[in-house]
Amino acid sequence: MKINIDASSIRSTAAFCTAWRINMIAKEIGERGIIEIIRERLELPEEMVTPFGEDVSALDIGEGRLLALKADMLVGSTDIPPLMNYFQAARKAIVMNVSDFASKGMTPKAFMVSLGLPPELGRDEIEQLSLGLNSGAREYRTHLVGGDTGMARDLVIAVSGYGIGERSTLILRSGARPGDFLATTGEFGDTAAGLRALLEGVELPRQLKTRLQRKVLMPQARLDEGLAIAKMRAATASIDSSDGLAFSVHELSRMSRVGFTITKPPVSRNARRFAEITKCDPLDLALYGGEEYELVMTIRPDMWKKAKRLIPSLLKIGVATEEREVVAEYNHRTITVEPRGWEHFKSEAEWSGRRP
């Protein structure tokens, strides 16, 4: 069969695509699309041992040692929910950076901050921000050592820092093999429930409400767990779960070219209680919540017992499979886990109003 190609139609299709590309805006492109646009235009150094888009950017500095950089930013209008005060926001900006180092088995050493402040922000709030930055850094045996500040229309807490590690214990997103155990450092769902409790003012038993909100306002990074797992070389792949459990597992799937069956979704007890009260699906809370800072890892089966002994909070939640799909078994159902996460640009949410 001969195929006639009409050159003019190709040109017009190209023109259409170009026009479409030109008209696309950041919000439509999405966070991952934007990262791809940037990556395509960068010349990366030879000594870089992590692919662009990993949790940290690690550079080989000789003799098997790595230096990693990380930058992750909180923006007032989109990242900081109401009722989170300035101390908590600044502390969280550090914690989320620590979490990424933890997921790669690297030790954070020092942080910097670029603070963009709305001009009408008060002295008290600036003091709260300072204390939160210091507190976040000191909790993980690191320090905030400098930064800069300027006026901005939006509150910006752009934290960056460096960490160190060894090439032999670096854990990428790409090392999982079929048969590896899928594990997390803790349960999921509290943050999504807590955020809804904060935003929607749901009536909840007081203790439950306090616990859920605490998870949102004072998150913890799993630094000791990440470092211990790396040291014993038990993990074949790892990612932090700031974009949500579903997205994190899909990212391990994409980068490792494996699938996953989640046999025991790690839905927290409090998320179950919240779901019961509000008549929502607890599995959704656990899978698609985001802003949780557990580590999601694949563990070599022969290392499982040792890993579990050292880190009792470690939960075996499933297994890596040949077939590249992500499914979850829950309440005698098997569902397909969607690659949905916590992408800022895809979300319409904008938070505003005075903080406590």
Give the footprint of its own copies on residues 24-53 (CB under 8 A).
24-27, 29, 31, 34-35, 37-38, 40-45, 48, 50, 52-53
User: Closest approach of Cβ 71 to its own copies, in Å?
Assistant: 4
114 in contact with its own copies (CB under 8 A)? yes
CA atoms within 13 A on the CB side of 333: 6
DSSP tag of 265: -
**Contacts (CB under 8 A) with its own copies, residues 240-299:** none
The residue among 50 and 268 lying less far from its own copies, judged by its C-beta, is: 50
DSSP tag of 302: G
**Contacts (CB under 8 A) with its own copies, residues 62-101:** 67, 69-73, 75, 77-79
User: Closest approach of Cβ 110 to its own copies, in Å?
Assistant: 6
6, 63, 120, 203: residue in contact with its own copies (rule CB under 8 A): 120
Label residue 17 left, alpha or beta by phi (over 0 means left) and psi (-120 to 50 means alpha): alpha
With contacts defined by CB under 8 A, name the span among 17-25, 189-197, 226-234, 323-331 that binds its own copies: 17-25
Dihedral sign for Cα atoms in the order 176, 182, 187, 191: positive
How many other CB atoms sit within 10 Å of the CB of residue 292? 28
- Residue 352 CA to residue 200 CA, distance in Å, equals 14
- Residue 154 CA to residue 284 CA, distance in Å, equals 31
The residue among 30 and 179 lying less far from its own copies, judged by its C-beta, is: 30
- The interface mask with its own copies, positions 160-189, x = CB under 8 A, is xxx---------------------------
The residue among 148 and 325 lying less far from its own copies, judged by its C-beta, is: 148
With contacts defined by CB under 8 A, name the span among 155-163, 245-253, 269-277, 325-333 that binds its own copies: 155-163
Q: Are the C-beta atoms of 212 and 190 separated by less than 8 Å?
A: yes
- Residue 70 CA to residue 74 CA, distance in Å, equals 14
- The interface mask with its own copies, positions 294-333, x = CB under 8 A, is ----------------------------------------
83, 85, 109, 339: residue in contact with its own copies (rule CB under 8 A): 109
User: Closest approach of Cβ 9 to its own copies, in Å?
Assistant: 24
What type of residue sits at position 32?
R
The residue among 7 and 22 lying less far from its own copies, judged by its C-beta, is: 22
**Contacts (CB under 8 A) with its own copies, residues 131-150:** 131, 133-134, 138, 143-150
Nearest to 173 by CA among 262, 105, 95, 94: 105
Structural element, H or E, at residue 326: strand 326-330
User: Closest approach of Cβ 356 to its own copies, in Å?
Assistant: 15
Tallying the residues shown for the chain, one arrives at 356
The residue among 10 and 24 lying less far from its own copies, judged by its C-beta, is: 24
Please give the size of the binding site for its own copies, defined by CB under 8 A. Answer: 79
With contacts defined by CB under 8 A, name the span among 110-118, 174-182, 205-213, 333-341 that binds its own copies: 110-118
Q: Are the C-beta atoms of 334 and 262 separated by less than 8 Å?
A: no
Residue 90 to residues 32, 68, 114, 145, 163, Cα–Cα distance (Å): 25, 22, 11, 14, 19
341 in contact with its own copies (CB under 8 A)? no
Nearest to 96 by CA among 228, 240, 254: 240
The residue among 41 and 309 lying less far from its own copies, judged by its C-beta, is: 41
DSSP tag of 345: T
Structure tokens at 137: 């850094």
